[in-house]
Structure 1
Amino acid sequence: MLQAAKHGNIEFIDAMRKANPDLLWAIDKNKRGIFSHAILNRQKVVFQLIHDATVNGRKEIVRCRVDAFGNSLLHLAGNLGPSADLHRRSGPALQMQREILWFKAVEKIVHPKCKEAKNAEDKKPREIFTESHKELVKAGEKWAKDTAGSFTLVATLITTIMFAAAFTVPGGNNQDSGIPLFLKDKTFNVFIIADAISLFTSSTSVLLFIGILTARYAEKDFLKSLPLKLLFGLIALFFSVVSMMVAFCASLAMLLKGHQGVIITAMSFASIPVIVLVPSQLRLFIEIFKSTVLTN
């Protein structure tokens, strides 16, 4: 049962639990039970199954249990998770977020006195968490800054281009009145709106990414603040690229009326950046969204 808990063999544990419920309370030589091994090895499904299966007095026993070294479940949750689990996340920042989520999940089920209890080494759970995750915090900071720095460069370039495009409209202006020559063309309205959206969203993404670059990088920042800034920054950057391509296509449509073949060819090439951007960042976007917005 303990080995099954370590490796996440949920089918075996469930079958044995139904055959003999007392097996849930088996412990090893260090007085660590199935619950302890599920937490140490970050086996979420096993953790949930045992949590749902424990009732009344026995659930209280699990909440207060300590191992041979005086570690409560919260002390064990404070240790760094196994590398196999950490590497399922896209980057150190998301790995750190997952570790914090685990610590908070265990914190909810243990007895309140366990939060400040000390183990045999005279350490509290939070102290163990901070000590064991020190290097992960540094790696997470570097990853977040490198990622935000790259996106900031792209967003800044788009902002510069779209700002300049707003003052150099397709077809030029009337020499006497200064009014754009294509002002009455419906396509011109599409160009102006797309340009404005691209300028706004790219500027927004720059500010969000700068927020990541200038963050304090405290442990709690990895839980919501940094992932949400990165998530909304990616969304804003995506819309800025799409809007920029729409503005480009609208400009071509005005300037090359009657040359449909050239317009279609140019629009096809203009869609390439969007096609490249979406698959390359989709996995990161989905992972951040799931871990930050959908995680219970």
Structure 2
Amino acid sequence: MAVELGMWGFDWQVQGRFTFVEELVKMMDEEDLALQDKKENTALSFAAEAGSIGIAKIMIQKNKFLPTIQTGKGPTPLFKAALLGQSEMACYLYPKTYPTLNEMNRNALFFSCIDTDLAMKMLEDDTTLATAHNSNAETALHVLARRPLEFGGRSTLGMCSRLRKSLVSGIEDSYKSSKQTKALELVECLWNQILKHDDDYVMCLITEPSEVLFDATRLGNYEFLSVLINAYPDLLWETDDENRTMFHVAVLYRHASIFNLVHETGSIKDIIVTYTDDENNNILHLAAKLAPQNQLNLVSGAALQMQRELVWFEEVKKIVQPLSIDMKNKDGKTPRELFTSEHEGLLCKGESWMKNTANSCMLVATIITTVVFSAAFSIPGGIADDTGAPKFLKDTAFLIFVISDGVALFSSSTSTLMFLYILTSRYAENDFLKSLPLKLMVGLASLFISMTSMMIAFSTAFYLSCHYGLRFVSDFIFIFAFVPVVLFVFLQYPLLYDMFLSTYYSSLIFQPRKHMIQ
């Protein structure tokens, strides 16, 4: 009955009745708080799961042995808090539980809270945790190597994603920066403790059961790698089981942030880029391979994906020796030949995407051309019988009509020509690098201008015809005439913006923002 009352009181605390719970605990004996329910949970176990530090303090003040009571043969409240990500609760319960933990329990707790502030505290108290292994025979470095998001790994987002990120950045940036800094501090402490051992032990530790260096490289965990390399530069020479260095793997998995580190290695770069793997592929061959799907998805549309692949190939080509450009692998293919065979499917998809886009847009551009051409000979208000001049010739609105109609005609014609060029293009690989994206950008921009100008011409023509006695109607039409323009912006601007960035700024991802290797 006492434990049920304790659980009921805890539920009330969750709902904000903290004072009631405090008085309830005062009425109970120490033994009552230690009672367990049918699943052998104490009241403190529930408090730990919910992260209710206030009620936990009240209970522990009443019974200091509560933190050490296990759920049957299961975890203590500390373990529950750590497993459920209740960082503050885990930090509070840790000093009260730590003295009772054996080595196996300490190791298990350390890996359970590797994402929390408690991990650093535990490492400071017991430096042997740096070389401890979990149930998968992995060290903490192995675990952290596979968590690039903890270290602020960069990615190339789409326009909409960047917009959403900018809207919430003011709220989240300080928290993320703090979390990333703490994660790096933990890696530094772990690595410094490991480096106190001899080289053979260090290399054995970080290569079994998996290779820490290449786990981090495959996932783009570049700040993690910079910590390791700064303290132990010899890692730059390490190769995986296929004789690839971290830079080869970074190119294969398309992680520009790690590939950029090659520029900070000085003369070592000229040696590393000459390495070939077991298939006699050099680093340019690896750039010629098709990128993983998750990297392709970072840009929208097959055409832009093809463009990004070409940018990667050209950037890697800049750092290799001239002999490597025409070097053949075991299959007898040069990097360019391998690029062609690997990207044949993507090239076809890019061509289809370009043609479908151009076809749809050219249809709209042609309709606009037809409409505005006809409007040029349908003068609003008609022509004066005595002079043959337009009746509203001296009206400012008429001048706006003439200019906007002319701009709509010229821009829609330009748009039609651009899309016609795209439809009749030969679609060679290099056309996707600049030529085709540029034509599509010009076509979309011209289409937007022509649509806007057409709406202005329509509104002014309606105004000239109906503003006498129907002013409110012309104003109403003028406002709603721009609804299609606004819709066009919302629907097509993301594509246009991504295409502009991909064409003119994609090479910027190969420029490191700061020196990571000191």
Same fold (TM over 0.5): yes
Partner residue in 2 for 1:16:
228
Select 2:364's aligned residue among 120, 136, 154: 154
Give the deviation of 1:257 after TM superposition. Answer: 2.1
Once the two structures are superposed, residues 258-283 of structure 1 have per-residue CA deviations (whole angstroms, 9 ceiling, x without a partner) of: 43321221112101001100011111
Residues 1:276 and 2:487 are matched in the alignment:
yes
Give the deviation of 1:88 after TM superposition. Answer: 1.8
- In the alignment, the residues of structure 2 paired with residue 295 and residue 95 of structure 1 have an alpha-carbon distance, to the nearest angstrom, of 11
Once the two structures are superposed, residues 62-96 of structure 1 have per-residue CA deviations (whole angstroms, 9 ceiling, x without a partner) of: 12111111110001111100111112221111111
- In the alignment, the residues of structure 1 paired with residue 503 and residue 493 of structure 2 have an alpha-carbon distance, to the nearest angstrom, of 15
Select 1:26's aligned residue among 229, 238, 256: 238
Residues 1:63 and 2:273 are matched in the alignment:
yes
Give the deviation of 1:53 after TM superposition. Answer: 2.1
Higher mean alpha-carbon deviation, 204-213 vs 21-30, is at: 21-30
Partner residue in 1 for 2:504:
293
- In the alignment, the residues of structure 2 paired with residue 110 and residue 13 of structure 1 have an alpha-carbon distance, to the nearest angstrom, of 23
Q: Is the 8 A contact 2:252 2:291 kept in 1?
A: yes
Residues 1:52 and 2:263 are matched in the alignment:
yes
Which residue identity lines up with residue 278 of structure 2 in the other structure?
A
Partner residue in 1 for 2:427:
217
RMSD: 1.1
Partner residue in 1 for 2:333:
123
Give the deviation of 1:174 after TM superposition. Answer: 2.3
Select 2:394's aligned residue among 184, 200, 204: 184
Alignment partner of 2:379: what SS?
A: coil
Q: TM-score, normalised by structure 2?
A: 0.56
Task: Count residues with an aligned counterpart.
Answer: 294
Structure 1 gaps, min length 5: none
Partner residue in 1 for 2:143:
none
Q: Which runs of 4+ in 1 moved over 6 A?
A: none
Partner residue in 1 for 2:375:
165
Alignment partner of 1:202: what SS?
A: helix
Once the two structures are superposed, residues 25-65 of structure 1 have per-residue CA deviations (whole angstroms, 9 ceiling, x without a partner) of: 221110011101110111111111x2222111x11111211
Select 1:228's aligned residue among 422, 427, 438: 438
- In the alignment, the residues of structure 1 paired with residue 280 and residue 432 of structure 2 have an alpha-carbon distance, to the nearest angstrom, of 29
Partner residue in 1 for 2:50:
none
Partner residue in 1 for 2:346:
136
Q: TM-score, normalised by structure 1?
A: 0.97
Residues 1:267 and 2:478 are matched in the alignment:
yes
- Between the two proteins, what is the percent identity of the paired residues? 46
**Bigger-Rg structure (1/2):** 2
- In the alignment, the residues of structure 2 paired with residue 53 and residue 294 of structure 1 have an alpha-carbon distance, to the nearest angstrom, of 22
- In the alignment, the residues of structure 2 paired with residue 255 and residue 189 of structure 1 have an alpha-carbon distance, to the nearest angstrom, of 14
Q: Which structure would you say has the larger RCO, counting Cα contacts within 8 Å and 6 or more residues apart?
A: 1
- In the alignment, the residues of structure 1 paired with residue 295 and residue 506 of structure 2 have an alpha-carbon distance, to the nearest angstrom, of 16
- In the alignment, the residues of structure 1 paired with residue 249 and residue 474 of structure 2 have an alpha-carbon distance, to the nearest angstrom, of 62
- In the alignment, the residues of structure 1 paired with residue 461 and residue 498 of structure 2 have an alpha-carbon distance, to the nearest angstrom, of 36
